[in-house]
Chain A
Amino acid sequence: MRKARCSLLGVLFLVLFAAACQTAAGAPRELASLDDVTNGFVATDPSPRPAEAARAYGNAGFDDFGSHNAAPIESPAQPRLLIQKGEVRVEVARPDDAAREFQAKVAAWGGYLQQQNGAILVLRLPAAKFDEAFTAAKALGRVLGESRSANDVTEEFVDLGIRIDNARKSRDRLVEILAKAEKVEDILKVEAELRRLTEEIERMEGRKKFLQDQVAMATLQLTLQPVSQPPPVKRSRQWSRFDWINQVGAEQMLGGDF
């Protein structure tokens, strides 16, 4: 009897444990209260997995990038969102001419000069042309130094999309709540939350737009250094075969011999 009771308790425990696990892992999160609505978008999983995030966000946000960086990230083989930056230092005979020549190329690729400080040029150009520009910059003269980097912002971009989406949904629900609210206190509270949410959405959209720009247009810093002239060969003085001549002159008069 006692043994049967123990077995029953054990089975009950296992059933309860399994139910608890299922609830924790699979139960959808529902926003019931006002707090849940207003904080819900922040409480969403802060680091979604890329595949999940892409599904949640859809592909709409990637269409802005053209074919080079625009594919969704369902498959690891597909390109990611990269902010490409590079720096090339080259020694050229005529830096002004080289700068003009390179700027013309960049303009033809759809890029532009962002900043110039003497012989240092900061150029923005379509990401698709970055490799070509990097190679062309190195071909201008003798390469003194080069570096390039690609910052993967795929996760941040996707995360922003999810957060914006959630925030918009939350805002829509707040608007619904506001329409039903009767107490002045409730109305004021909802309106304050609406303002805060709207600002947050604008901030995130700004950040997203910035990332889009950075991904779409790569940055290349080009430093053009003039070819350094070899130091003039100093002709060493040949001493006279006549000793007295070597003893005469300004060097001797102004030196220690005087």
Chain B
Amino acid sequence: MRALRVLGLAAVATFAACGSMPMQLPPDFVELGEVGNGHRAVTADDARLRVRNLFDSTKGSVDFWADTLCNDCVLQRGYELVERGEVNDRDGVSGRWLHFSANVGGEKVGVLVAAWVRPRLLKKPYLQVAEFVARQDVFAARLPAVRQALTTVWR
């Protein structure tokens, strides 16, 4: 009976862990729930935050992926790179972040993408990617809090 209770609690904990955003949400963000292999959160002024696990057969380093993403955004999509840097997640794993300014549908928006390479035992690593997009003014106001929240990301 006791073993069953422990197993039940473990199952609930696992389920709860799977269903929540793998980061401490910045202020004013409300989690929308899990879609596919990602978690979404929004604010009342439509700032959007998403953390996803993305897979690619290529075994690239975090810098390789940051450069690839940066080139794609700037050269193919017309984004403007504002700033880039490094960020350690909650467990001290080094990731990279890229801050862009973009024009989507005639509206200027800010874009922040952070990525960590997550190794796996006997499997190819995957990428954990956090994205934050909002209208330019909203983005600027919320950027510091989101940058702070990136340090709380866990895998």
Quick check: which of B21-29, B52-60, B85-93 contacts chain A, the rest being far away?
A: B52-60
Q: Tell yes or no: B109 within 8 A of A by CB.
A: yes
Q: Is the interface of B mostly helix, strand, loop or mixed?
A: strand
A247, closest chain B residue (CB): B54
Contacts of A18 in B (CB 8 A): none
- Count B-side interface residues using an 8 Å CB cutoff: 26
Q: When each residue 119-144 of chain B gets 1 if its CB lies under 8 Å from chain A and 0 otherwise, what string results?
A: 00000000101010100000000000
CA distance A244 to B133 in the complex (A): 17
Quick check: which of A21-29, A67-75, A148-156, A248-256 contacts chain B, the rest being far away?
A: A248-256
CA distance A25 to B77 in the complex (A): 93
Contacts of A237 in B (CB 8 A): 76-77
B100, closest chain A residue (CB): A250
Q: Tell yes or no: B69 within 8 A of A by CB.
A: yes
8 Å CB contact of A250 from B40, B72, B109: B109
Q: How far is the CB of A216 from chain B (nearest CB, A)?
A: 57
- Count A-side interface residues using an 8 Å CB cutoff: 16
CB-contacts of A209-258 with B (<8 A) = 237-240, 242-245, 247-251, 253-254, 258
8 Å CB contact of A254 from B58, B104, B127: B104
Contacts of B100 in A (CB 8 A): 250
Question: Is A253 in contact with B50, judged by CB distance below 8 angstroms?
Answer: yes
Q: Tell yes or no: B73 within 8 A of A by CB.
A: yes
Which 3 A-B residue pairs are closest in the complex by CB-CB distance? A244-B54, A253-B133, A250-B111
